[in-house]
């Protein structure tokens, strides 16, 4: 990639961080997309700010033949469009070179989630005779009870808790804080963990990490994801899981029990209601399955 293109990408990412507080993960994703696109253009003798109209559709065709899903191309197109809107606003170009590029509509994928009975088995899987087991049970209860992202969970500190009021302060995407109710079970397990297990896992209990990994530091997302998979095996859950499985279950089960969609949006920390609406499809799919199984004309 040329120095000129690299400088443009850096300037765009700096603007994204300054103006919108984009997270490191978001910035990394944009960088990967733009570097790949820039490399593609340079191989064809084209410049990042002036791609030929047919270059991107041709690349999409090649990606599809290579096995990339439509959703992957749609995400790539969204990244590139955001870059060119920024370049247009900065006066670097006089038109959006991708304005006419279209992809078929992508139906939102239904999140992989768990039935309520499966969640119960997963929550009960840790070995409570050990400090690690009590810690994991508390983490699972908070993850499901508050609908957190795994990155939010492992980033919690002791001063983010208010167990008297039963709420937790969570720092989400874009470094935005939100208060989330914990629920009675999560509070009970947090109290037990803080009282009987956390001290046994730390050499210095004054360190801020609520859920320590090695060296009294906060646990990594990867470590906790491995713990979830281990407990899922213990619970006899053999369906594919993701780090967001309990977050998806939290949202879906709330809606199944009559929660308002906007309330779920606030609890999840979604800035856009359309992001939350995917869970209405999950609830609808569940209703359709029940109808098919139990209605005489299903």
- pLDDT for 298 equals 47
pTM: 0.57
Q: Between the CA atoms of 267, 269, 273 and 279, what dihedral angle is there, to the nearest 10 degrees? A: -60
- pLDDT for 273 equals 54
Residues 253 and 163 in one domain: yes
Our measurement of the distance from residue 109's CA atom to the centroid of its chain's CA atoms, rounded to an integer in Å, reads: 14
Catalytic residues: 149, 173, 244, 247, 270, 279
**The last residue of a domain, from among 35, 70, 89:** 89
- Within 10 angstroms of residue 1's Cβ, the number of other Cβ atoms is 15
CATH code where residue 161 lies: 1.10.443.10
Instruction: State the total domains in the chain.
Output: 2
Whole-angstrom Cα distance, residue 200 to residue 109?
42
pLDDT tens over the chain, length 298 residues: 466 778 889 999 998 888 777 788 888 989 999 999 988 888 888 888 888 888 888 888 888 888 777 778 888 888 898 999 999 989 999 888 888 887 656 555 555 678 889 989 999 999 999 999 999 999 999 988 888 888 889 999 999 999 999 888 888 777 778 888 888 999 999 999 999 999 999 989 889 999 998 778 888 888 998 999 999 999 999 887 877 788 888 877 777 777 766 766 767 766 555 555 555 555 555 555 544 555 555 4
Whole-angstrom Cα distance, residue 169 to residue 159?
9
Residues 141 and 252 in one domain: yes
Q: Specify if 96 maps to a domain.
A: no
Q: Which residue(s) pair with 50 in the sheet? A: 47
Residues 141 and 44 in one domain: no
Residue 272 three-state SS: coil
């Amino acid at each position: 990639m040329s120095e000129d293109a690299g400088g443009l990408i850096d300037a765009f990412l700096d603007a994204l961080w300054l103006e919108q507080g984009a997270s490191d993960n978001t910035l990394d994703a944009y960088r990967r997309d733009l570097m790949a696109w820039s490399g593609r253009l340079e191989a064809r003798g084209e410049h990042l700010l002036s791609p030929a109209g047919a270059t991107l559709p041709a690349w999409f065709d090649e990606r599809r033949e290579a096995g990339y899903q439509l959703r992957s191309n749609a995400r790539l197109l969204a990244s590139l469009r955001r870059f060119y809107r920024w370049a247009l606003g900065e006066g670097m170009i006089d038109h959006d070179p991708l304005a006419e590029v279209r992809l078929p509509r992508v139906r939102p994928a239904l999140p992989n989630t768990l039935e309520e009975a499966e969640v119960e088995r997963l929550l009960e899987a840790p070995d409570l005779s050990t400090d690690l087991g009590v810690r994991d049970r508390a983490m699972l209860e908070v993850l499901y009870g508050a609908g957190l992202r795994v990155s939010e969970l492992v980033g919690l500190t002791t001063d983010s808790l208010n167990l008297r009021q039963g709420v937790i302060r969570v720092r989400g995407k874009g470094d935005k804080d939100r208060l989330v109710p914990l629920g009675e079970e999560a509070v009970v397990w947090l109290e037990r963990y803080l009282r009987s297990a956390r001290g046994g896992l730390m050499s210095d209990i004054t360190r801020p990490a609520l859920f320590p990994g090695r060296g009294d530091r906060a646990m990594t997302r990867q470590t906790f994801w491995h713990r979830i998979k281990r407990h899922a095996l213990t619970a006899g859950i053999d369906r594919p899981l993701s780090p967001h499985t309990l977050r998806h279950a939290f949202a879906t089960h709330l809606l199944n029990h009559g929660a308002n969609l906007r309330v779920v949006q606030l609890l999840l920390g979604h800035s856009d209601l359309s992001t939350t609406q995917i869970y209405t499809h999950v609830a609808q799919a569940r209703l359709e399955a029940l109808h098919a199984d139990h209605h005489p004309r299903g």
